[in-house]
Amino acid sequence: MRPHREKVFRERPVVIKGIHAIEEGFASGKSIEKILLQRGTRNENISALIRLARDRGVPVQEVPVEKLNQFGAAHQGIVAIISPIAFYRADDMLAQVYDKGEDPLFIICDGITDVRNFGAIARTAFASGVHAMIIPQTETAAINSEAVKTSAGALMKIPVCREKNLVQTVKNLKLNGIRILAAEASGPKFIYECDLKIPTAIIVGSEGEGISRELLRLADELVKIPITNDFNSYNVSVATGMILYEVMKQRISRE
């Protein structure tokens, strides 16, 4: 008797197909995760749509026609993947937090591509009072139903800011009074030695690559968390949770 094999059903993403439908999607305020463009497809209308997407901070990915055909016919060489969440701009969120008289707290995810890690970070961030998560356009986890589920719904509640250039975003935050901390295992200072009550953005990186050199250079301080035994690091979502616990502890004790 053959062992029972559980069938796995993958939820198909919600898409918009065709040039005019995608234009209408942008015009009506749809939250578009990314544009899939057939390789070699170029005409005036598509070029204009690509410019619009990039102006809105929506990444464009060239793919073979077979990929687009998975979504059915009549795609005209271009498909938009609809995101289950809305995206925000970091400068708008910063202004809102300051307007409320609060000290901003942001988490910047640099190269976090694992959906489960990203969802877990979002869950902890929302529970810890983080005002917004900041992510890059590319090299980031897909924000799909699995990410939302892993976050226990937190991704539907915490603002996520998708930025074209994380380096420029960090520079803008610094110009607006935000102290930048980078979570780095070799950092000279423990997280609990920092004043976390002031306006702060914390950069966390992928477990494989870590934080990019450009962002490390922009950080005001490199911070670490205690670790025992001869082991290289914590899981990134666990490490983020430990950091945010210290932030929350300091901010609650101030009240």
pLDDT at 42: 81
Strand pairing partners for 81?
15, 34
pLDDT tens figures, 146-179: 899 999 999 999 999 999 899 999 999 999 999 9
Q: Which CATH class is domain 87-254?
A: alpha beta
pLDDT at 56: 84
Evaluate if residue 145 carries a pLDDT over 90: no
Residue 234's pLDDT is what? 85
Mean predicted confidence (pLDDT) in 20-43: 88
Specify the DSSP class assigned to residue 151: T
**What pairs with residue 15 in β-bridges?**
81
Lowest mean pLDDT among 9-13, 61-65, 145-149: 9-13
252: region left, alpha or beta (phi > 0 left; psi from -120 to 50 alpha): alpha
DSSP label of 32: E
Question: What average pLDDT does the segment 71-95 reach?
Answer: 91
15-82: CATH, from 3.30.1330.30, 3.40.50.720, 3.40.50.970, 3.30.930.10: 3.30.1330.30
SS3 118: helix
pLDDT score recorded for residue 37: 94
pLDDT of 254 over the 80 cut: no
Q: What is the mean pLDDT of residues 105-130?
A: 96
* Whether residue 8 has pLDDT greater than 90: no
Concatenated DSSP letters of 218-253: H-SEEEE----SS-----HHHHHHHHHHHHHHHHHH
pLDDT-derived band at 9, boundaries 50, 70, 90 = very low
SS (H, E, C) 44-86: HHHHHHHHHHHHCCCCEEEECHHHHHCCCCCCCCEEEEECCCC
Hey, which residues does 88 pair with through a beta bridge?
Answer: 161
pLDDT (tens digit, 9 = 90+) per residue, 226-244? 988 776 678 999 999 999 9
Q: Show me where the domains of the chain are located.
A: 15-82, 87-254
pTM for the full predicted model: 0.82
* pLDDT for residue 33: 87
Mean pLDDT, all residues of the chain:
90
